[in-house]
Amino acid sequence: MGEGKGILFSIVIPCYNYEATIKRAISSVLLQSGHDFELLVIDDGSTDSSLEVIKRMCDDNVRFLSKENGGLASTRNRGIDETTGKYLIFLDADDEMAPNALSFYRESLVNADVGMLAGGHISKKATGEERVCNISLQKHEGTAKLRAYLLDKTLAFSNGAVAISRRVFDVYRYPESFRSNEDVSMFAFILVNFEVKRIQHPLAIIHKHADSLRHNVEYEIASGVSVVDEVFDTRRIPNEFQCLKGEYLAQRCLSIFRTLFLAGDYSQAREYYYKATITKPAAIFRMSYLLKFIRSFLK
């Protein structure tokens, strides 16, 4: 690995109670080729033996620090401050970098200086079943690129499969008030204000499991619809994109409705459904949500 100004990539692994998988994540980075990257593992106040596992793996190639629990956003922001690479890759502690990922990143940076490099990933279930998820960056004009990400869901980014230029973070950092959805406003900000270059190879292996923070109901509700205001903050998102805010609010309400419905909180779920249909009446024609809404009265 490189040192000082020669570092091109800073790979940051935030870890909170992932004693069973953190070794796998670290190993996937150490298997990458080259000497132009650094690895920083940040333990976010784990209450299991994650920190002990991390310490056992530490040598000249693995640097770590421990902090009080503050969530993914605060941990990533700390990683930005503690590293020096031109591009940052945030790898979740339960995921892996794909083989040769850094080689693909390097190839894409030849004669290029972009805000973000983005590739696909391999989605892997606990059963071992795998699916390759590619990324599509079509030539969208105006609001179409933000619509593709926030509303149509035809454009998806996965942490671990993107490398973000440090100059992005000179303008905006991850919002630490959110314990989930903290990356939505970041990706929206990058899409609107920077060039994004696609890499045609899977760059990460994303492991799907039931207890992932991605599915934490408490954090999902806590972030609520305030995510919408964070995404569309006029200090970062130009006026031409503000026309999508109401539509995204309705979609966000439907997403929370579904989360609450699946968690069995039918009364609160209906409140978000009402808000979605008031914000955007056409939402009532989305049959999967309408059927859940009707079923919520029968539970």
Domains of the chain by residue range? 4-215, 238-296
Tell how far CA 170 is from the center of its chain. Answer: 19
Q: For the domain made up of 4-215, give the CATH fold.
A: Spore Coat Polysaccharide Biosynthesis Protein SpsA; Chain A (3.90.550)
- pLDDT by residue (tens digit) across 150-186? 999 889 999 999 999 999 999 999 999 998 889 999 9
How high is the pLDDT of residue 141?
Answer: 73
The answer to whether 42 touches 10, Cβ cutoff 8 Å, is no
How high is the pLDDT of residue 5?
Answer: 55
How high is the pLDDT of residue 113?
Answer: 85
- Answer whether residue 35 shows pLDDT above 80: yes
- Answer whether residue 139 shows pLDDT above 50: yes
- And the tokens for 217? 């109901």
**CA max distance for the chain:** 62
- Beta bridge partner(s), residue 163: 117
- Answer whether residue 148 shows pLDDT above 80: yes
- Separation of alpha carbons 76 and 123, rounded Å: 22
- pLDDT by residue (tens digit) across 213-254? 445 677 778 888 999 999 999 999 999 999 999 999 999 999
> In whole numbers, what is the pLDDT of the chain averaged over residues?
92
- Separation of alpha carbons 130 and 110, rounded Å: 31
- pLDDT by residue (tens digit) across 45-64? 999 999 999 999 988 889 99
What pTM does this model have?
0.92
- pLDDT by residue (tens digit) across 99-130? 999 999 999 998 878 999 999 999 998 888 99
How high is the pLDDT of residue 211?
Answer: 56
Q: Cβ-count burial of 258 within 10 angstroms (0-12 exposed, 13-18 middle, 19+ buried)?
A: middle
